[in-house]
A and B are shown apart, each in its own frame.
Chain A
């Protein structure tokens, strides 16, 4: 099992460019998440997908869109990158749809720099 995989590992964008971060999990989890990690702020939830076919905004959704392509894959798109989106992006997945919480499993991250 690869767990949660993310591509790319590193990316540099110019302001205004667009890109899509890819995430896939092979644990048959229902729920998937996108976070950004900034120094001193922990991880903040951008978007999540509680189940295939649904997506919802998290704490910091502005400037991002997501697609739950199927049960395995959950992509994050930056339509017009801004320097404020320089961050490390983590994808995660979890078994629980509703009820008692289950741990989230994290991918290795994508380090994005917007110049």
Chain B
């Protein structure tokens, strides 16, 4: 099956700093990537959808200036949490799909962000 990787798997940063999370599709071209966040014992909440070469579409309530998403190539998307605060601490999971009519989304292993 298709493989999606995320880096780093865990990151701890100080309040006020920025953190970048990378999401890569290893053996397929991802025309669409999704970023989700998950709080403890909660479900995955979609943050944004990005198509390669286009600006990301953010879900209601997600600050686009705080969560910068770049999908510059068909195999890489990045999420940058700017000026991180403790309330941004969460589990961030990316997902990739090969095309508009693709049957499945493939998920990365997630990144645990802790802001101190």
A and B associate in one complex? no
| Contact surface of A with B, Cβ cutoff 8 Å | none
Seen from chain B, the residues whose Cβ lies within 8 Å of a Cβ on chain A are none
